[in-house]
Amino acid sequence: MKKFSQRFVYGLITGICEIIPGMSATAAAIALGYYDRMIDALNSFIDLAQIILEAFIRKKSFKQVIAYIKKMDYEFIIPLGLGVTASVIVLSGLVLYIYEKYTNFFYSALFGLMFAIVITPLREIWKPRLNEIIIMIITFLFIYTLLGYEGVQITDMSASPITLLILGALAISGMLLPAVSGSFIMLSFGGYYFIMSLLKELLSFNMPFEHFISLATFVLGCLIGFILTMKLIKRLLKNNRRIFMAAIVGMILGSIRVVWPFVTLSVEDKALIHVDPSYFSIQQITGMILLALLTFIVFAYLNFKTDRVGDEI
């Protein structure tokens, strides 16, 4: 029961991180020590779908399907999945409220968290080779530049299916990588408030059919992106782990650009505006620094309690 509760709470944190623009759910998985196990668990669903398909075309028997289902990591998947679902459905409104009302403190906490997260991949390549250093630099520059991109807002509820498919695929890819969050990708490409509006309509049970089709198309894009990204990550973790960890270090450091805490939120279009530190009072700046330090200390402590990603849960 203790493990179930712990994994459920980790799921809540994972879901909250995916809601936050600029934060990645995978970053939470790395910080809390369950990235590898999460990747293996998610890949098991793709493998299951493939086995079921092969059973229907008679390449495998349904006994093999049942045998595979019995071997899946339910003790991890169920509580984590319930936590993620609960946070997205129940806490999305609260997170958005805090994000809009206390934006600078929100990003102060994320700023400290990102520095704590980078400890995990660094521990695996503490003495990096030349090629790993080059990978870190390249991924840092790529992510840092990418996150400077400013998109436009999608405001039409009947956005084209191709746009929604691509948006879904990119968003889920961001969820599975520790640097560019799915929420930030949607924000950059103008779909964040569009998709959140569709989710609110769905939860209110007052969604027009054309809006439901738009949401379903976005979900299909997420499914396609999920399958492609998962297979790539699993192969990299198995065959090129050190290179992948070096890339993650670069991604995380590059993504710190989007959690710079000296920001405010535009009332008109909900866009982030970078401001000079003098915009804030001394008390506010002190609070932001203390919050960033507290977040760093808490997650760095959790990080060092874990010997290897995935061992503790």
* pLDDT tens track for 245-259: 899 889 888 878 777
pLDDT > 80? residue 85: yes
Check pLDDT > 90 for residue 136: yes
Whether pLDDT at 6 is above 90: no
- 216-226 as b/e, with b when 16 or more CB fall inside 10 Å? ebbeebbeebb
pLDDT value, residue 28: 74
Model confidence at 110, in pLDDT bands (50, 70, 90)? Answer: confident
Tell me the average pLDDT of the chain: 79
Q: What confidence score (pLDDT) does residue 228 get?
A: 86
267: confidence class by pLDDT, cuts 50, 70, 90? low
Q: Tell which wins on pLDDT, 179 or 9.
A: 9
* Lowest-confidence pick of 8-17, 141-150, 219-228, 303-312: 303-312
Sole residue written with tokens 């493998």: 47
Q: Please choose, from the candidates 27, 70, 40, the residue with its C-alpha nearest in 3D space to the C-alpha of residue 254.
A: 27
**291, 292, 313, 287: which is closest to 302 by C-alpha?**
313
Residue 247 near residue 139 (C-beta atoms within 8 A): yes
Band of pLDDT at residue 311, cut at 50, 70 and 90: very low
Distance, CA of 102 to CA of 184 (rounded, Å): 18
Q: Tell me which range, 157-161, 204-208, 231-235, is most confidently predicted by mean pLDDT.
A: 231-235
Tell me what pLDDT residue 308 has.
47
Q: How far apart are CA 183 and CA 32, in angstroms?
A: 20
C-alpha to C-alpha distance for 242 and 132, rounded to whole angstroms: 7
Higher pLDDT, 134 or 277: 134
- pLDDT tens digits for 204-219? 777 777 778 888 888 8
- Mean pLDDT in residue range 85-102: 78
| φ and ψ at residue 137, rounded to 5 degrees | -65, -45
pLDDT at 179: 59
pLDDT digits (tens, 9 = 90+) for 18-71: 777 656 677 777 777 788 888 888 888 888 888 888 888 777 777 888 888 888
- 163-201: per-residue pLDDT in tens? 888 888 888 877 777 656 666 677 666 677 777 777 777
* Angle between helical axes of 25-32 and 35-56 (0-180°, round to 10): 120
pLDDT mean over 78-86: 87
Q: What is the CA radius of gyration of the chain?
A: 20
Residue 156 — very low, low, confident or very high, per pLDDT cuts 50/70/90? low
**pLDDT(153) > 60:** no
Give the residues across from 272 on adjacent strands: 265
Give the model's pLDDT for residue 182. 67
What is the rounded CA–CA span in Å between residue 79 and residue 220?
A: 24
310: alpha, beta or left? (left if phi > 0; alpha if psi -120 to 50): left
How does residue 150 score in pLDDT terms, banded at 50, 70 and 90?
low
Domain range list for the chain: 2-305
Q: Which residues contact residue 153 at a Cβ distance below 8 angstroms, ignoring those fewer than 6 apart?
A: 190, 193, 194, 269
Higher pLDDT, 146 or 108: 108
